[in-house]
Structure 1
Amino acid sequence: MRFVIISGVSGAGKSQVVKYLEDLGYFCVDNLPPALLPKFAEICSKSSESIDKVALVIDVRGGALLKDLFPGLQALNEAGFAYELLFLEASDEVLIKRYKETRRSHPLAPEGRVIKGIREERRILQEIKDRADHVIDTSNLTTRQLKDEIFSIFSQGKSFKGIIISIITFGFKYGIPIDCDLVFDVRFIPNPYYIPSMKKLTGKNEAVKRYVLECSETETFLAKLIDMLEFLIPNYIKEGKSQLVIGIGCTGGRHRSVAIGDKVYNMLLERQHSVVIDHRDIEKDGRGAVK
């Protein structure tokens, strides 16, 4: 199990780093009392869901509980759990600017000057910084550069595309999913619904798949769609997009969209993309009710 503890000065980007680690499949917990570190690691190691990547944020918000961090780390070592300590840093000038932009008060100076809170926080966290395995100064990093840095350190050497592709198949009669980035209408393809032997089947059935996928229009559509996605995906990644939601719709969401959605899913998997699929309306009948 890879166990990462995140700390650092307030305003240096800890919340953003948590989002990036979640994109990498880490189970993330914010502001865990340090005394619970050994017990939490034990629970994760014994989980039936095979939690193998964990990230915890521990900082000055814990108040007096922060004093338990080093005893907690020692207990982790004694229990046989390896860990990495990531510390996020930024200059006083940048931190003050960020606080002014967000109009938030510093946790150690809720009614006073931000700079006093920053200095006190640095004093409290100095030993944690000294013992950190990774120290990242975010003063001059863009969000994209910070993301690249986190992926470089914590992706465990795996090829991570930097974007998760979600395919949603649906029926237009039930409405377009509101979270779609791209929507493709496949109602131009002949409809198996009007073939009596296929009417009550879905796009998961082999006969329906053959009917839909062997259509010349489908073959041309898939070739053009994949070509376009292979152009778009790296450009979305370049701009920092971490999730792409693709909607594929037909009339009822049971036949054409399902068969084509599964095909696109498999084609993207073959190209080493991170992709998931949801057939939203596959269980609905022709009247819109769920069977």
Structure 2
Amino acid sequence: MELIILTGLSGSGKSTGLKTLEDLGFFTMDNIPFRFAGLILKDLQNSSRDNNVKRIALGLDIRTIIDANDFDTFFNEIDNLDIDYKIIFLEASTQSILNRYNLTRRKHPLTKDTLLQSIEDEIYLMEDIKDKANMIVDTSFLTAKELSRKIEMAVASFSKNILLNIHLQSFGFKHGVPIDADMIFDVRTLPNPYYLENLREKTGFNDDVYDYVMSFESAQVLYSKILDLITFLIPGYIKDEKRHLTIGIGCSGGKHRSVSFVRRLQKDLNSLDDINIYSIHREKERGNW
């Protein structure tokens, strides 16, 4: 049985995440109280030979906790069932969650004096499960499509016996810095293909743009230093049992130089053992090209 627990802060995108998991073939269950979830999993495990439910996704949040002991009881139960589970924790900045609730006018599951107090109390109450998470996703500035992509990559990585997932992301500084990146490299010091009329409308996916960016000695030196630093740090991240490493490569518009660097990094890092390499081009997904 493959089990993914999708949890996190209210208003951080759990509904979108569960829909993505359902599209990936998971049997999804949402808002089941912690104290009953273990019993349901036990029943499904016992009957798994007689049904087709092999991939299960549980949506659990603050609404499913009845008392303080539910959290520990639930994880003790699934540990005793010897189920290999993974936890994806969704969060967002307090301001982002405030904006979402004000926009939808929905009621927060914690009824406190103010919406802000409800959000802050939930952050505190969910700390324990966040500490157990295999992957934490900050959805503050993610579109639904970007969140779905991250969950798809997480599921793919969970099903493989790998030590580290490296997520390469090109972006444009003029559209904001990705807040979920562990490392960010700035390649704006390199000559910009935007100022060449024959390259302006193309991207780093085009060979003539890529060749132009990489033709300069400054680009080769910068790339070499970035690659050396990443490969130097990887063993440390693995030793620290970090499963996901997000690296942002930024230029002005996120279309030429950053895409070219991500393209080459993906090729060079793919040769490493026990590591998955993913690439995302944020501005393409957001329609900024």
Q: How many residues align?
A: 160
* Whole-angstrom distance in 2 between the partners of 1:85 and 1:73: 11
Structure 2: 5+ residue runs without aligned partners?
160-283
- Residue 98 of structure 1 is matched in structure 2 by 100
- Residue 123 of structure 1 is matched in structure 2 by 124
Q: Which amino acid aligns with 1:31?
A: N
Deviating runs (4+, > 6 A) in structure 1?
none
* Whole-angstrom distance in 2 between the partners of 1:155 and 1:86: 13
- Residue 140 of structure 2 is matched in structure 1 by 139
Residue by residue, what CA displacement relative to the aligned partner does 1:152-178 show, whole Å, maximum 9, x if unpaired?
A: 1114689xxxxxxxxxxxxxxxxxxxx
Q: Which amino acid aligns with 2:19?
A: K
Q: Secondary structure at the match of 2:25?
A: coil
Taking structure 2 as the reference length, the TM-score comes to: 0.51
Structure with the greater alpha carbon radius of gyration: 1
Q: Which amino acid aligns with 1:29?
A: M
Residues 155, 23 of structure 1: alpha-carbon distance in 2 compared, 3 angstrom cutoff: farther
Residues 86, 113 of structure 1: alpha-carbon distance in 2 compared, 3 angstrom cutoff: same
Report if aligned partners of 1:60, 1:121 keep a CA contact under 8 Å in 2. Answer: yes
1:53-72 matched pairs, under 5 angstroms: 53-65=55-67, 67-72=69-74
Residues 66, 55 of structure 1: alpha-carbon distance in 2 compared, 3 angstrom cutoff: farther
- Residue 18 of structure 1 is matched in structure 2 by 18
Residues 52, 65 of structure 1: alpha-carbon distance in 2 compared, 3 angstrom cutoff: farther
Report if aligned partners of 1:4, 1:84 keep a CA contact under 8 Å in 2. Answer: yes
**Aligned alpha-carbon RMSD (Å):** 2.2
Report if aligned partners of 1:37, 1:73 keep a CA contact under 8 Å in 2. Answer: no
* Whole-angstrom distance in 1 between the partners of 2:54 and 2:25: 9
* Whole-angstrom distance in 2 between the partners of 1:156 and 1:113: 39
Shift of 1:5: 1.2
Residue by residue, what CA displacement relative to the aligned partner does 1:129-156 show, whole Å, maximum 9, x if unpaired?
A: 1111111100011111101101111146
- Residue 80 of structure 2 is matched in structure 1 by 78
Shift of 1:15: 0.8
* Match 1:108 to one of 98, 107, 110: 110
Q: Which amino acid aligns with 1:84?
A: K
Taking structure 1 as the reference length, the TM-score comes to: 0.51
- Residue 43 of structure 1 is matched in structure 2 by 43
Shift of 1:239: 8.1
Report the identity percentage.
33
* Whole-angstrom distance in 1 between the partners of 2:82 and 2:36: 15
Report if aligned partners of 1:34, 1:66 keep a CA contact under 8 Å in 2. Answer: no
Residue by residue, what CA displacement relative to the aligned partner does 1:226-272 show, whole Å, maximum 9, x if unpaired?
A: xxxxxxxxxxxx989xxxxxxxxxxxxxxxxxxxxxxxxxxxxxxxx
Shift of 1:63: 4.2
